[in-house]
Amino acid sequence: MEEQIKKVIIENATSLFGEEINESLIQFQQTRKDVEGDLTLVVFPFGKLLKCSPIEAGTKIGDFLKSCFSEIDKYIVINGFLNLVFSNKYWLNNLNIIHSDSNFGFSPEKSKPAMMVEYSSPNTNKPLHLGHLRNIFLGYSVSEILKANGHEVIKTQVINDRGIHICKSMLAWELFSPINDKGERETPQNTGLKGDKLVGKYYVEFDKHFNQQAKAIIEQWTAGNFNSFSDETKNAYLNFEKAKEGKDEKAIQAIDDKIKDLAKNQTALLRDAKEMLVKWEARDPQVYLLWTTMNGWVYEGFESTYKMMGVDFDKLYYESETYLLGKDKIIKGLTDGVFYKKEDGSVWIDLTDEGLDEKLVLRSDGTAVYITQDIGTAIDRFSDFPQLNGMVYTVGNEQDYHFKVLFLILKKLGYKWAENCFHLSYGMVDLPSGKMKSREGTVVDADDLMAEVVEKATEMTKERGHLEGMSEPEREQLYYQIGMGGLKYYLLKVDPKKRMLFNPDESIDLNGNTGPFIQYTYARICSLVFKAGDLDLSYQEVELTKEEIEIIKLLNNFPIIVNEAATTFSPALIANYMYELVKAYNHFYQSVKINIEPNLLLKMNRLKISLEVSKIIKKSLNLLGIKAPNKM
């Protein structure tokens, strides 16, 4: 309707205002809830053209539009705003259009350019945790929203299966894994532990011994023992100690942290881990066999976790494969003058002219860093999928700087598509107890958390009852859908850019802005429609209540919300739109009769509204990766 009104005003501008006008003058906004109206036109700009007050300008434009559109029932001018009230027939026609379009809200399949969305991208040295959950649910949902908006979408992850952190788990398993009476070290088979959890156990074990070694070194330094340490290390420590003089407690703590880092760099464990990484890159047979074995354990663990999450991928990439391409591009870039080499042999890029700093891209020993493999992975992806128009990286906001550097390097290497790479930066997830730390083993395990919310949903649903006629497998499926629906909705309803506090109990609450509250409304409508029996949902000439009009307005906005969510990569827009729709429907449900309405035309129209609400709820839940149960 906005576009039709805009077109008519522009076509008749000369007779209305005495001159042609720029389209930008015509500004619409949502009508305030405390005043009557369905659409508001801002008329301040037209008062200047007509050399009259905004109220007079609004009246003139209102009279003109009412004469042009039978859909406009009346108008109200409030100061510089023209509030248009659409007719009952207009809203009935809108409802009919929504009802007749099974794909309402969605764009034609593959009608827009191809996009790749990367999410999850875990390290193979630990299991998935709460932070991964927000990442994975966000990336999966953005993929579904982009598809709904007409894009071809390739869902992908890059497996971070190489690097010093992977070697730490491998080394710790070799050094600290106990040997059973069969002469075997710990494996998923002989412990019954999921592979990713077993490997993660040894990542934590490495850090424990790592800190013990660093502590012992600091004790030597404190005692004045610098035997076996270089003069450079000795002087660095003494300078740090001297720098503490006259400092406050906070500054001293910061210096102590630097001393701890200095000590860690002198540990035998870190030295051995670095040597293992060099051997891995040289394809040492023993190291490579250990790497493939432990990674295999992790992949099996990840697969079962992804199945529980209800997510999938179209294409997997492995850093162990793409880092070589990244190294090749850096060597070529070195020849082309994009990069430069320092005296120690390390390779860097200078980005100071772009407001950034110098960035290491290859270590002095020739091993790759994170940016190396990210360069290779990006190039590999656009080679595999030449139809790609853009790529979305779902990665936490602590990596904001990393992606600025990555996209800039890709541009300097001559890849124009780098302009269409986007970092979907999201805030961290905190718990009431504070920030999670993988190395210290204080993370909330994803498997445990999912099991917990499903268990809470099970208890809640059993207490409420309403499970008559359901088989045990159906009940188990319902518990899973409610628990996982609550978890996903809770993590997705918050703007991705915002840091958030997660509370498992709140996520499965049946009241408020929660997944189960929305699922329950969907199930209620399914029951309502089922009990109604045969439906005649053809066009009905009936008088709509204000509650019904409000719902049709919200339904009408669904395509706009989907488009905006796709443009901004924000599932939160879908979640909060759905919550507003469900609140409006529940108010409608309490305000009017539906199945017991004696007037058959009114009854059928209200069932039609209910059915369309349920369709939009189901579509919206699916966009968030959430199932819509027919019964709760």
pLDDT in tens, 162-216: 889 999 999 999 999 999 999 999 999 999 999 999 999 999 999 999 999 999 9
Q: Which of 293-307, 356-370, 477-491 has the lowest mean pLDDT?
A: 356-370
* Beta carbons of 172 and 206 less than 8 angstroms apart: yes
pTM of structure: 0.89
CATH superfamily membership of 446-623: Isoleucyl-tRNA Synthetase; Domain 1 (1.10.730.10)
For the stretch 308-328, pLDDT in tens is 999 999 999 998 888 889 999
Q: Is the pLDDT confidence value at 99 over 70? A: yes
Write out pLDDT tens, residues 52-98. 999 999 999 999 999 999 999 999 999 899 999 999 999 999 999 99
Is residue 238 scored above 50 in pLDDT? yes
| Whole-number average pLDDT of the chain | 94
pLDDT at 510 over 60: yes
CB 462 within 8 A of CB 491: no
Q: Do domains 134-229+266-320+383-430 and 446-623 have the same CATH topology?
A: no
- pLDDT at position 368 is 84
pLDDT at 467: 84
d(CA 450, CA 130) in angstroms, rounded, equals 9
Strand order of the β-sheet with 81-86 is 27-29, 39-42, 81-86, 72-78
Pair 217, 267: CB distance under 8 Å:
yes
Predicted local distance difference test score (pLDDT) of residue 442: 54
Task: Give the bridge partners for 423, in sequence order.
Answer: 393
Q: Which of 608, 600, 467 is nearest to 528 (CA)?
A: 608
- How many of the other CB atoms lie within 10 Å of CB of 534? 4
Whole-number pLDDT of residue 422: 97
Mean pLDDT for 601-620 is: 97
- The CATH classification number of 134-229+266-320+383-430 equals 3.40.50.620
Question: What's residue 433's pLDDT?
Answer: 62
DSSP string, 120-156: ---BTTS--BHHHHHHHHHHHHHHHHHHHTTEEEEEE
Reported as a pLDDT band with limits 50, 70 and 90, residue 441 is very low
pLDDT of residue 437: 43
Res 436 pLDDT > 60: no
CATH superfamily of 2-86: Arginyl tRNA synthetase N-terminal domain (3.30.1360.70)
Residue 9, pLDDT above cutoff 60: yes
How large is the average pLDDT for residues 592-620? 97
Model confidence pLDDT, tens digit, residues 128-159: 988 899 999 999 999 999 999 999 999 999 99
Summarize the chain as % helix, strand, coil (round to 5). 60, 10, 30
CA atoms within 13 A on the CB side of 561: 23
Domains of the chain: which residue ranges?
2-86, 134-229+266-320+383-430, 446-623
| Cα–Cα nearest to 409, from 399, 421, 398, 397 | 421
Q: Residues 412-424: pLDDT tens digits?
A: 999 999 999 999 9
* pLDDT above 70 (res 435): no
Residues 577-586 have pLDDT tens digits of 999 999 999 9
User: What confidence tier does 440 reach under pLDDT thresholds 50, 70, 90?
Assistant: very low
- Residue-wise pLDDT for 258-270, tens only, equals 999 999 999 999 9
With cut-offs at 50, 70 and 90, classify the pLDDT of residue 555: very high
Q: Please state, in angstroms and rounded to a whole number, the distance separating the CA atoms of residues 404 and 260.
A: 30
Rg of the chain in Å (alpha carbons):
31
CB-based contacts of 423, cutoff 8 Å, min separation 6: 393, 395, 399, 400, 403, 404, 407
